Amino acid sequence: MNYFKTAILLAGMTALFMGVGYLIGGSGGMMIALLVAVAMNAFSYWNSAAMVLRMHGAREVDARSAPEFYGMVQQLAQNAGLPMPKVYIMDNPQPNAFATGRNPSNAAVAATTGLLNSLTREEIAGVMAHELAHVKNYDTLTMTITATLAGAISMLANFAMFFGGNRDNNGGIGILGTIAMVFLAPLAAMVVQMAVSRSREYEADKGGAEISGMPLALASALQKIAGAAKRVPNMAAERNPATAHMFIVNPLSGERMDNLFSTHPDTGNRIAALQKLAQTMSGQAGHARQAASASGPWSQPRQRGPWG
């Protein structure tokens, strides 16, 4: 998502936030809501990455503590033309991964031990390339701030129910309008958050396939992760459901179909898109990428652990 679209999205979320503030406290409430929105954006910009990593118990690794995994990410970052991100591992049996950070120079990628122990090298490379595509597209910043504002709008809308609307505004919409806002404001925030989240996953799948040169390996990884996510609980994600949209596959139990309120597109739809991309890449350019990827550190026969 480019900067213009990101700016439009955040402006819309901030306007919605201000509208709920106006409903609660008139012009004064609207100004307070604006200040709160600005403060939340600033806080998320500087601190979101560290917060999310702590929530999921991620530990940083390097070339000494996890040489194979670190070397793989390093090679993929070079392929993508990105600075080397910080690399983290989460002690979690569910195979999954996410990226975070305000920009490519301050990015981090994290994978679970379940992912590193259950997927092939090619599949792991596809997953990490997907996460680096998020970094390259600045998705991590957009989605973190959007999620923060969406949660705040829901909180403000609930407050409106108790305040009973703006009593000082003669043209106010009254208690019925307040009740409507209690439901419509968080609903609107949710629609924006989830719709953007789904669209970014398709783009990151495409970008990750191009970075790794192995779209079918990423497709295979998505199938395995989605299947395991239904069987293996991710307790850290269950405790922090607001971070679910950051993972490559929904880590929460009870994942729903590909609809307007899903944090992720249907896995089958994503796999089908990758299969079509693989056909496109099977020409001369695709063969060149496959040949280049064969020299990467993940192309050798798989040996399990130690990943760190």
> Which active-site residues does the annotation give?
131
| 3-class secondary-structure state, position 299 | coil
Asked whether the beta carbons of 157 and 186 are under 8 A apart, the reply is yes
DSSP label of 242: G
Instruction: Give the separation between CA 186 and CA 194, rounded to whole angstroms.
Output: 12
Which are the contacts of 64, defined by CB distance < 8 A and separation ≥ 6?
none
Cα separation, 83 vs 109, in Å, equals: 12
**Closest to 51 (Cα-Cα) out of 246, 308, 295, 209:** 246
Report the run of H or E that residue 98 belongs to, with start and end. strand 97-100
> Where would I find the beta strands (DSSP E) of the chain?
58-61, 86-90, 97-100, 108-112
Task: For Cα atoms 106, 110, 114, give the angle at the middle one, nearest 5 degrees.
Answer: 175
For CA atoms 230, 236, 238, 242, the dihedral sign is negative
Structure-token pair, residue 62: 């390097």
The SS3 of residue 28 is: helix
- Name residues whose C-beta falls within 8 Å of residue 47's C-beta, 6 or more positions apart in sequence: none
Which tokens in the block code for residue 280? 């496109």
